[in-house]
Structure 1
Amino acid sequence: MAATQSGALPLSDEDSRRQLRRAVIASTVGTTIEWYDFFLYSTVTGLVFAKLYFPGSDPLVGTLQAFLIYAVGFIARPVGAAIFGHYGDRIGRKATLIVTLLLMGLATFAVAFVPTYATIGIWGAVVLTVLRFIQGVGVGGEWGGSVLMSMEWARTNAHRGFVASWPQFGVPAGLFLANLAVLAMSQISGSGFLTWGWRVPFFLSIILVAIGLYIRLNILETPIFARLLAERRIEKTPMLEVLRRQPKDILLSAFSRMAEQAPFYIFTAFVFTYGVTTLGVSRDLLLMAVLAASVLEFFTIPFFGHVSDLIGRRRMYMIGAAVVGVFGFLYFAMVDTRDPMWIFAAIVLSLVPHSMLYGPQAALIAESFTGRLRYSGASMGYQLASVIAGGPAPLIATALFAYYHSGYAIAVYVLACAVLSLIAASMLGDHTNKDISREYDDARAMGDSENARPAA
């Protein structure tokens, strides 16, 4: 009904602006909650899970085992992209986003109650793995819908990169809240952190879910999806259709994220293990540094999204990939000094190159797919990177350091990711300032309306 209303009854300029504001707020708050949940798990993995769920293992082996559970969430993300991409292109962006929020939030809440190895043995790790998988499925469907909810309400083509960057803002906001919650409980619980303190942030996530649900229930469907519904242009199997029509764009979207995603999880997740066990610095210093870095990204992500509107999405993205490739060496040169000030500075600065990629990334990927297949295509392209970049990154970094005993080996890995992203981004289409409100795939260009199935 909301979709029909927003599409069949044209809104005034004032109403359109109001809906844009609501869509941006709903998307940003929703992604903040989703990423709070996801990053909370990331942070606690390096600090807690190896000790509580694999206590009999060598510290390095236990860390690898904990990060294997961590990686399960990334493997699940393409599954979520396939499931919710289908429904996002079938029943709408809004309804799908409500389901992803509930799925992610309830799985995170349940982590607070998982017994440790001392209580139920290996089954504790098994339960964590299942909940992590459910988390990944929820996140897999969240990103595409949040970006489209904002981007498809944009009133002009000239500011689409800036508008689409706001759901990306949920990443540093979620990172900030997750690390703040862990830092606060670290201070409050003290020596009881490993016993009960780490569970409280997971328990509190249910409050954020309730807030996000309230906000998302009060927005309209996007005009673009409403138009597709009115024109009976809804595909029966959008995920299969986008795999048939735009497989190249899906793969290029995934590989273009290598320079953004792999280094990000090294700089914000692996750093806890590296900093505490190798450099001998306190977890609170690392938590405060990541907090400061996430605050800086509050400003840099929308800024670089705006810059992409001015100089072009693809150009901004390729500049960011080049900077990331170089910065990896500078990062480990700074942290390996073991000087708290240099470590703090390295972690804070690490998310600036990330912002150069993450700001324009939402629009760059989402614009690559035609409207009726956009949720499916953008979600799958974005989340496939989780399997090849985000999930393996801490594991690869841990293995490289175990073999070479040098952070520079990890920097070479970051450089390789940057080179792959540069190649992939150079081959992606650039739709900066172009109209995306109508279908622009090959079949539509030829006027072949028969390829679009009638709505059920």
Structure 2
Amino acid sequence: MVLGRNEADNVLQEQGRQQRKQVRRAAVASAIGTTIEWYDFFLYNTAAALIFPHLFFPASSSYAGAMQSFATYAVGFAARPVGAAIFGHWGDRIGRKATLIVTLLMMGIASGLVGVLPGAATIGIAAPLLLVALRLIQGIAIGGEWSGSVLLAMEWGNQRKRGLLGSFAQIGVPVGLVLGTGGMTLLSAVLSDASFSSWGWRIPFLASLVLVAVGLVIRLRILETPMFAKIVAQQRTSRSPVSDAIKHHWREILLSAGLRFSEQMPFYLYTSYVLVYVVAQHHYSKTFVLNAVLLGAALELALILWFSQLSDQLGRKRVYLTGAVLTGVLAFPYFAILKNGGMVIIFIAIVVAMIPHAMQYGPQAALIGESFPTHLRYGGAGLGYQLASVFAGGPAPLLATWLLHVTGTPYSISAYVVFSAAVTIVCVALLKDRSRADISDDTVYLRARSVAR
């Protein structure tokens, strides 16, 4: 009998070790996968501000070229909900792992092709058209990537640490920003302006192909999440998961989109549009602004993990709302500094602006993911997250460029930021906080649906 107990204990210990190993692998795969995809995405953002206007729209004025370049930037955001719907269907049908491998390949190949794309001087109108097509592919891939990466970590680990585990997908954003912007910063510093504009900017895009190979190796070693595997074993997957998510959880989808306004829209102003504004306003070097963005992203890397862990202790909504309020409060001081400040205080402002974003972006993954049942979570969470891209992130640099041109003052952009904070505060207040709820079983959701019928 004693031997039997020892054998049972050994089996349990081995199961525990395997579980912990898969949790670690899932967290690493989640972080590295999103890092690679966001590295590619931020490369495009930086190039859209610094390179693409004169390379793909050489006949346009400075203002028109910036508008056209940021329009191609916005196209990728418009494609994200499409990607969320396409890959949300398969993620809730065949699983998280297989779907994420496809999104990683799409993103990497599209970015590699941007790196070899000739300019308008070589192939004429075909150049911007091909750029838009590749941007669409990038947007579709990113649209399908986020929710799968979040669920890969969140559905594997300790459910009392969902905020922290979900944030491993979120840290891919600042790490990708550090790598992408850092690569551009290094090249712009060591190369002449002519060399950087001619061929130097292409090197980071081509390097993404190597990173994709690394990401594939890691993701291929991960098992399917236990929560989704249980749904498959019980034959409870939905035939039309995206349609079912829209039908039964449309409120959560819309609120998830709305709560992202004060996180996403200012972020793309502070990491992309700021490159154009500060250089034009003060004639500082591109490297100066890139260095400030780079340091802010490095700071955010640590803060995302900390605020996410804090949300496990204090609740998602409390931490998230604090970040949204700070975003609105700092909007006017931020642009006042960019307009009137000196080099040092502008540098500090660009860095500090990342703090309210980290307060929201860290807990955001769990806050959205917890709002949907397991069998509809990939599609439902993905749609909610990516819909904000159409109305908040994508148009932000474009609208900021237009607002400054029409009003002549950056404070019109500040008002735009305050509006985004107000939208977020309302949506977070209306969304149920499930920070401490058990999401490992769909029983509660299925019972609620049966009652509703």
Category of TM-score, reference length = shorter chain: over 0.9
Counterpart of 2:183, as a letter, is A
* Aligned residues of 1:140 and 1:383 also touching (Cα < 8 A): yes
Q: Structure 1 residue 214 and structure 2 residue 217: aligned?
A: yes
Structure 2 partner of 1:28: 31
Counterpart of 2:306, as a letter, is F
Alpha-carbon deviation of 1:189?
A: 2.5
Structure 1 partner of 2:352: 349
Alpha-carbon deviation of 1:298?
A: 1.2
Residue range with higher mean Cα deviation, 401-410 or 9-18: 9-18
Structure 1 partner of 2:72: 69
Structure 2 partner of 1:3: none
Deviations 1:191-246 (A, max 9, x none): 31111011111011101000000000001110000100111111011000001100
Within 5 Å, give how 1:42-121 maps onto structure 2.
42-121=45-124
Counterpart of 2:226, as a letter, is P
Structure 1 partner of 2:183: 181
Structure 2 partner of 1:435: 438
- 1:53/1:154 CA distance change after superposition, 3 Å: same
Q: Select the residue among 401, 411, 425 that pairs with 1:408.
A: 411
Q: Distance in 1 between matches of 2:130 and 2:384?
A: 29
SS of the residue aligned with 2:340?
coil
Percent identical across equivalent pairs? 49
Structure 1 partner of 2:9: none
Structure 2 partner of 1:386: 389
Structure 1 partner of 2:334: 331
Cα RMSD over matched residues? Answer: 1.5
* Aligned residues of 2:75 and 2:132 also touching (Cα < 8 A): yes
Residue range with higher mean Cα deviation, 95-104 or 399-408: 399-408
**Hey, which bits of structure 1, 4+ residues long, moved more than 2 A?**
440-448
Alpha-carbon deviation of 1:112?
A: 0.8
Residue range with higher mean Cα deviation, 344-353 or 332-341: 332-341
Within 5 Å, give how 1:14-413 maps onto structure 2.
14-155=17-158, 157-190=159-192, 191-413=194-416
Alpha-carbon deviation of 1:447?
A: 6.3
Counterpart of 1:161, as a letter, is G
Q: Distance in 1 between matches of 2:195 and 2:17?
A: 53
Counterpart of 1:188, as a letter, is V
* Aligned residues of 1:313 and 1:364 also touching (Cα < 8 A): yes
Q: Distance in 1 between matches of 2:210 and 2:327?
A: 36
TM-score normalised to the size of structure 2? 0.95
* Aligned residues of 2:373 and 2:445 also touching (Cα < 8 A): no
- 1:322/1:115 CA distance change after superposition, 3 Å: same
Alpha-carbon deviation of 1:444?
A: 3.4
Alpha-carbon deviation of 1:279?
A: 2.5
SS of the residue aligned with 2:60?
coil
SS of the residue aligned with 1:406?
coil
- 1:188/1:446 CA distance change after superposition, 3 Å: closer
TM-score normalised to the size of structure 1? 0.94
* Aligned residues of 1:276 and 1:283 also touching (Cα < 8 A): yes
Q: Distance in 2 between matches of 1:11 and 1:65?
A: 57
Counterpart of 2:190, as a letter, is I
> How many residues are treated as equivalent by the alignment?
440
* Aligned residues of 1:279 and 1:338 also touching (Cα < 8 A): no
Counterpart of 1:152, as a letter, is E
Q: Which runs of 5+ in 1 are unaligned?
A: 1-8, 452-456
Alpha-carbon deviation of 1:11?
A: 7.2
Residue range with higher mean Cα deviation, 316-325 or 333-342: 333-342
Alpha-carbon deviation of 1:445?
A: 4.2
* Aligned residues of 2:265 and 2:420 also touching (Cα < 8 A): yes
Q: Distance in 1 between matches of 2:331 and 2:203?
A: 34
